[in-house]
Structure 1
């Protein structure tokens, strides 16, 4: 099943594309905007006052000059920056192979070695044409595959060439690994990845860092365009911008490493499909020189550690495992791609190019789903993937270009900003748990790409439909703080109330709530119910399940009751304490039951917890209609939907979180059968 899905390299490559183009949508060196139509220059204090007035909903005629200045037409600068990146990437990809051959003085392989190489290529590649080159200056045992469409090259070093006579199996292992890159069709992805990363560094990262340093030395802000910094024009912005550019450089380097390291493990797996004996590859990794303790070149991270490659020879876990870095990079890229469409500064811009945020969300969701389907059963992913997505979504939003103008020097408390990041982190944690659950449910029925379309479509639909709402919360938090609604002194409470108000407004009509129930719960559970009669491997027994169930149930009830009461006290002030108490009681009971069932279940804890939450919500609604409400005034339909939504929301969070905690419990040793005595 996993071998018929698109490779992990392809999934990771989507991240680099997203990262590159998302950053340039808002930030780019000022030289690209020299040909754009410029507006009037406005003093920094006037810009700040008018921006705050706009957030409060006030219409000040004195701010008309600021609005005219914000209408600068910068679309030409965006297109020029995009075109420069594409042009530099294309030039490196097309002319890079010829430059590499000339720079390293590579020469064609001749004689008996060439005949053997041609024979091996014919066995594993069929009709694909490969040119074999010799690196005379490299005495070590090494190989390299590179090229562009129509011109594929495989380089062997002088040390590898000498193995032809001394150790033929080791010689074949080196060559087959390089031919595997050609067979896996990852040479183009590799070449474009390296070219795009160099272009991104040259066009975005290095000029940005130089602008930050120049701002530090001159005591000015790092931008040439005043509308990019409505909340601050001093040297502090240069220091913050330097930190941001450094973070973007690290994120882009991690993304590049994810792409390049994935291809190496897949090439090793391809070699094992050609020859079952892994001894030559194992010997090759054991004889490789030890890595430097402090590497001076970033190139060492283009290959996985030798320990990981050796482990991949014995099992598929290192090959399919997502780990922590991939979801971290994916979450960061996701936040960066949503920034140009959902941030406060981006929404206030005019004359901008339409940014396809949902298209990027769709691509990244498919990449996440593909990796999850390939990694079903991989050890460690139950914890690493949710935590990686949580850190990535929050970290990417901090590194997004608009963060400097929306938050950094604006009069918004740091605690309010951190509270907004908590919402994103929790969303990433729940998304990772839910996607992994969907993948585990569907994995036995996936036999190739066509059969994987159903779970991928489900994941893409959930992510695409909910992405803008979660990122709009960040803007609404700022607006709510400025407008002082709700009038809450505690920053985290204000963030929770603002997020809950948005969620209630979206789901209280009933239609979207029904869609959410079907997508998040009923669709995966229908697949699980269809597989009830199928035999599955026994789940490991875990110690302390009863204690976990009781503890999580009690904690979920208390936390949900406190949070729900705090939120309801501000949202339902006019309805009185009755409505607030009914909602808090229902949410607390649903969360307690879902958490307890998820903690106690050996198999399918997420599904059973969500079924329990759904049943608790329906039962609670019936109790209200048949027992409680006949004795009181009837509740409006909208409040019924809010009660149902709150119960399901609490049950979903409690069930998914408890399922994550249950994975951390130690596994109970299986009983050993005693021998039968005659």
Structure 2
């Protein structure tokens, strides 16, 4: 790693100005960004290698037949995924069988290439130091230090740096015109290479020599040399052995492989797929450059802390005038791995660059995370929660660490704290661009039909990052520990899990919305499996229930992480319940040694939020009472077993609780000055707990409530009936309700700002005296105790609900039952191609197999008719029985084949399958009850089956699927 600028003339004995803020007070977050890049390269390699190997080794005929399987399933590559999803789900098993028949397994070759790539990475990492310290390049220090003056100085600097394992020092005599140094090497074996010019001026410019060497020793102390060179080795091997062959194969797929028609049909998908390679190169380089720039500043600050002179950094920068020159300079800075001299000089007195929120790194984080999702797309369905947690943890971890550092810097320097939502916006933009440019959301189209659906992900990131910024401020003001690490870790885990729950929904169900709304109200209601759903006349309530049934947070299984939303209001409430420190905490003493006073306490108190939550709970109870009064009937037994009533009985409390949470959050956010989102979510969470408690009491006492009775008129205590329903409603309310409350808080905040500007013209009431009276202190202590009790109740209720929850309210019905079953008819040319694929991929084989077994049946039947003795009759009946079993087997296999893409053809094919099933049944009846009646029925069934097969062959020839009649 290169060190300092070369031009300098320091004064002897000069020391840098003191750094007011210790940049090490919080983790830098660069390690997480390196981990994200490493995961991206590893996942991309594991995803790209099999496709490249298969394209190079598989025969074109096999590839065409595999592609024919998709066409035979009725999938039109020129339309959106929604338009083909019904056909895909109907033919999923047949498609899997068909593609497996024509697939060629090159997994062994792919694993071998992957092993070679890993071994090459290890070799490059191991040989890089050897190459850089070769005899023709460097000379041992002792050979250059003829007077023996440098070795004691270097030993002293190593002791100052606190390195337990001293590095090896070498000199590059060829670099006589530069006075720099670089640190490199392997784990537990590092080398510092000094330029010949630096050694030559070590006596005349001793301060510069000390600063340069201490800078490189700081890299070793920070432990970033090994990670950097691992990344270099991995990137070089990935670029040469994986990315370049993959790009070459992509060019062949785009412009040369297959027929022009086939290339045109799949051009959007293949082009999007190749764009990933360019995005990986761009993202890896720019992200790595940004990380290295920050680590250079960290090394500068550590060297200055060890006593390095500040003068070497004071290199005059050329003046820049004009907007375009500054923009060009900023663009050039993005591609550099070392910061500019001006930035390094400024950071020595004010390390604000290390606490700044930079747009490009945030954007690249979202972009890289989405590319990583694409390359992890082959993971099994059961690992979707793990994938969602991984991606959310990296995105929120990187953006959240940056936010915590920015909030901390603002609090300690007296600046306004960052709002957080711009961070979420840039992260969301990165994910949205990754979805639009990659093949995930667009499929085989240049752009998805409804890209506005991606705003759901952007809104989720804006919500969690705004929460992270405000939560960081609350915890920084109340934390008393020696280190901020535990508080930041908890403050990042909660939004990570909350975002993971939204990502899980997106990966499993929500991504389909980029192609339009594929569901029908009747299908969604029917998926609940309740009797009488969907009804003939669907009312407004059931319309709302149908839409709510596919929104984020409504999957009530534990692996969907619905319970993570509870942490978004429990954790901030816990921060308010902790009394602010009266004296300076230890972490603050380490960050600002010159500061004696603690940070100002939080402006919000738990008492006000508990009162707001109680008011919201009362509103929720009133709504629950009104809903039950609306559902009341004099004879509950007549309606309580119907599906619409049961669904309304379950979902009315969900809608009321979510509505009360949204109203409470909006009102609290509108009247709150700081941390309005946290205040709104805390009040909404308390409202949810009270609403769930009220629902439990109403259901448990059903029958004793007079006009509020719904399910029964028998007065008794029904806890066993109430709890299973309440836990389902609690899961819905705490997941969906938290998201709705968060969005409502944004709306309430905007309305509150507008009202203040118009009504009060920015004037605020006079501040009240801060002196605490004894009664007020007692009230504050009581509010803190109540806040802790609410936190315990929220956590306990969530844990109890997760542990006792068995299944959601939906039955295990096929997913296509919820979708719009109407499909757009393909074009005439596509219909002909799909018909040809249906016939070639196995349709004709099944027809021929049915015809062959029918001929075997004729032979066996005639043998029975010609038999003249009991022995011949028994033998012939045995053969006929075998033929009947073969008829049933061949018919079953044909029934498992693809449905015909053309509706008219499917009608004919259904007739074929029906006739052959009837023939198999008639054949079995003949073998079990031989006689003239069963013989005549079998003969008629055989004629019908043979005629249906001829009709299918005629339809295929007429539609252009076949050119000649198959014998």
Answer whether TM exceeds 0.5 for this pair.
yes
Mapped contact 2:665–2:680 kept (Cα < 8 A): yes
- Where does residue 549 of structure 1 map in the other structure? none
Structure 1 pair 519/316, CA: closer, same or farther in 2 (3 Å)? same
- Where does residue 90 of structure 2 map in the other structure? 58
Structure 1 pair 478/74, CA: closer, same or farther in 2 (3 Å)? farther
In structure 2, C-alpha distance between the alignment counterparts of 1:497 and 1:414, rounded to whole Å: 24
Shift of 1:176: 1.4
**Worse-matched range after superposition: 194-203 or 439-448:** 439-448
Structure 1 pair 53/270, CA: closer, same or farther in 2 (3 Å)? closer
- Where does residue 613 of structure 2 map in the other structure? none
In structure 1, C-alpha distance between the alignment counterparts of 2:135 and 2:87, rounded to whole Å: 57
Shift of 1:267: 0.7
Shift of 1:660: 10
In structure 2, C-alpha distance between the alignment counterparts of 1:70 and 1:317, rounded to whole Å: 60
Mapped contact 2:317–2:342 kept (Cα < 8 A): no
Structure 1 pair 438/283, CA: closer, same or farther in 2 (3 Å)? same
Q: Once the two structures are superposed, what CA deviation does each residue of 1:162-217 show, in whole Å capped at 9, x if it has no partner?
A: 44244332332222111111111211011112222222222333333333333444
- Where does residue 426 of structure 2 map in the other structure? 388
- Where does residue 519 of structure 1 map in the other structure? 567
Partner of residue 597 from structure 1, selected from 657, 665, 668: 668
1:469 partnered with 2:500: no
1:432 partnered with 2:503: no
Partner of residue 649 from structure 1, selected from 739, 754, 757: 739
List aligned pairs for 1:458-497, cutoff 5 A. Answer: 458=494, 461-462=497-498, 467-477=503-513
Larger radius of gyration: 2
Structure 1 pair 302/482, CA: closer, same or farther in 2 (3 Å)? same
Structure 1 pair 608/170, CA: closer, same or farther in 2 (3 Å)? same
Partner of residue 144 from structure 1, selected from 182, 185, 191: 182
Structure 1 pair 458/593, CA: closer, same or farther in 2 (3 Å)? closer
In structure 1, C-alpha distance between the alignment counterparts of 2:370 and 2:600, rounded to whole Å: 38
Mapped contact 1:334–1:361 kept (Cα < 8 A): yes
1:377 partnered with 2:408: yes
The SS at the match of 1:613 is helix
Partner of residue 131 from structure 1, selected from 168, 171, 178: 168
List aligned pairs for 1:165-204, cutoff 5 A. Answer: 165-204=203-242
The SS at the match of 1:152 is strand
List aligned pairs for 1:96-107, cutoff 5 A. Answer: 96-102=128-134, 105-107=137-139
Shift of 1:255: 2.6
Partner of residue 280 from structure 1, selected from 292, 311, 316: 311
The SS at the match of 1:140 is coil
Q: Once the two structures are superposed, what CA deviation does each residue of 1:272-324 show, in whole Å capped at 9, x if it has no partner?
A: 2212x763254257599999968999995212333432332122332234533
In structure 1, C-alpha distance between the alignment counterparts of 2:421 and 2:36, rounded to whole Å: 21
Structure 1 pair 659/259, CA: closer, same or farther in 2 (3 Å)? farther
- Where does residue 559 of structure 1 map in the other structure? none
- Where does residue 89 of structure 1 map in the other structure? 121
**Worse-matched range after superposition: 113-122 or 573-582:** 573-582
The SS at the match of 1:145 is strand
Q: Once the two structures are superposed, what CA deviation does each residue of 1:517-575 show, in whole Å capped at 9, x if it has no partner?
A: 532211232123213565633899xxxxxxxxxxxxxxxxxxxxxxxxxxxxxxxx957
Mapped contact 2:565–2:739 kept (Cα < 8 A): no
1:10 partnered with 2:59: no
Q: Once the two structures are superposed, what CA deviation does each residue of 1:641-666 show, in whole Å capped at 9, x if it has no partner?
A: 64665543221223368779999999
- Where does residue 455 of structure 2 map in the other structure? 422
Q: Once the two structures are superposed, what CA deviation does each residue of 1:118-152 show, in whole Å capped at 9, x if it has no partner?
A: 43223324442222233334323432111112432
Structure 1 pair 240/63, CA: closer, same or farther in 2 (3 Å)? closer
Mapped contact 2:168–2:191 kept (Cα < 8 A): yes
1:611 partnered with 2:682: yes
Mapped contact 1:328–1:392 kept (Cα < 8 A): yes
In structure 1, C-alpha distance between the alignment counterparts of 2:240 and 2:654, rounded to whole Å: 55
Residue segments in structure 2 that go unaligned for 5+ positions in a row:
1-21, 76-83, 411-417, 525-542, 583-597, 604-642, 699-704, 712-724, 765-967
Mapped contact 1:382–1:663 kept (Cα < 8 A): no
Q: Once the two structures are superposed, what CA deviation does each residue of 1:220-250 show, in whole Å capped at 9, x if it has no partner?
A: 599xxxxxxx997544444333433212221
Structure 1 pair 170/340, CA: closer, same or farther in 2 (3 Å)? closer
In structure 2, C-alpha distance between the alignment counterparts of 1:61 and 1:366, rounded to whole Å: 40
The SS at the match of 2:90 is coil
Q: Once the two structures are superposed, what CA deviation does each residue of 1:81-135 show, in whole Å capped at 9, x if it has no partner?
A: 5434422321221101121234982333422345433432233244422222333
In structure 2, C-alpha distance between the alignment counterparts of 1:360 and 1:645, rounded to whole Å: 20
Shift of 1:65: 5.2
In structure 2, C-alpha distance between the alignment counterparts of 1:595 and 1:261, rounded to whole Å: 42
Task: Give TM-score scaled by structure 1 length.
Answer: 0.73
Q: Once the two structures are superposed, what CA deviation does each residue of 1:67-89 show, in whole Å capped at 9, x if it has no partner?
A: 42586646445534543442232
- Where does residue 119 of structure 1 map in the other structure? 156
1:357 partnered with 2:390: no
- Where does residue 26 of structure 1 map in the other structure? 47
Structure 1 pair 618/148, CA: closer, same or farther in 2 (3 Å)? closer
Structure 1 pair 484/119, CA: closer, same or farther in 2 (3 Å)? same
Mapped contact 1:56–1:483 kept (Cα < 8 A): no
In structure 2, C-alpha distance between the alignment counterparts of 1:213 and 1:419, rounded to whole Å: 31
Mapped contact 2:427–2:461 kept (Cα < 8 A): yes
In structure 2, C-alpha distance between the alignment counterparts of 1:270 and 1:476, rounded to whole Å: 50
In structure 2, C-alpha distance between the alignment counterparts of 1:607 and 1:373, rounded to whole Å: 16
In structure 2, C-alpha distance between the alignment counterparts of 1:300 and 1:62, rounded to whole Å: 50
Structure 1 pair 307/640, CA: closer, same or farther in 2 (3 Å)? same
- Where does residue 536 of structure 1 map in the other structure? 599
In structure 2, C-alpha distance between the alignment counterparts of 1:73 and 1:446, rounded to whole Å: 57
Shift of 1:29: 6.3
**Worse-matched range after superposition: 283-292 or 60-69:** 283-292
Mapped contact 1:36–1:73 kept (Cα < 8 A): no
In structure 2, C-alpha distance between the alignment counterparts of 1:35 and 1:212, rounded to whole Å: 11
In structure 1, C-alpha distance between the alignment counterparts of 2:349 and 2:449, rounded to whole Å: 48
1:212 partnered with 2:250: yes
Structure 1 pair 519/588, CA: closer, same or farther in 2 (3 Å)? closer
Shift of 1:437: 3.6
In structure 1, C-alpha distance between the alignment counterparts of 2:217 and 2:317, rounded to whole Å: 21
Q: Once the two structures are superposed, what CA deviation does each residue of 1:428-475 show, in whole Å capped at 9, x if it has no partner?
A: 222322333443344434534566554455455545555423322345
List aligned pairs for 1:390-405, cutoff 5 A. Answer: 390-398=428-436, 403=440
In structure 2, C-alpha distance between the alignment counterparts of 1:317 and 1:376, rounded to whole Å: 12
Partner of residue 327 from structure 1, selected from 354, 362, 384: 362
Structure 1 pair 437/53, CA: closer, same or farther in 2 (3 Å)? closer
In structure 1, C-alpha distance between the alignment counterparts of 2:258 and 2:156, rounded to whole Å: 65
1:42 partnered with 2:74: no
The SS at the match of 1:377 is helix
Task: Give TM-score scaled by structure 2 length.
Answer: 0.53
Query: How many pairs does the alignment contain?
Result: 614
Shift of 1:486: 7.8
The SS at the match of 1:505 is coil
List aligned pairs for 1:264-279, cutoff 5 A. Answer: 264-275=296-307, 279=310
Shift of 1:18: 1.6
**Worse-matched range after superposition: 605-614 or 587-596:** 587-596
**Worse-matched range after superposition: 284-293 or 384-393:** 284-293
In structure 2, C-alpha distance between the alignment counterparts of 1:358 and 1:283, rounded to whole Å: 47
Q: Once the two structures are superposed, what CA deviation does each residue of 1:577-627 show, in whole Å capped at 9, x if it has no partner?
A: 99999977865664354245335433332321212323455677789998x
In structure 2, C-alpha distance between the alignment counterparts of 1:60 and 1:35, rounded to whole Å: 27
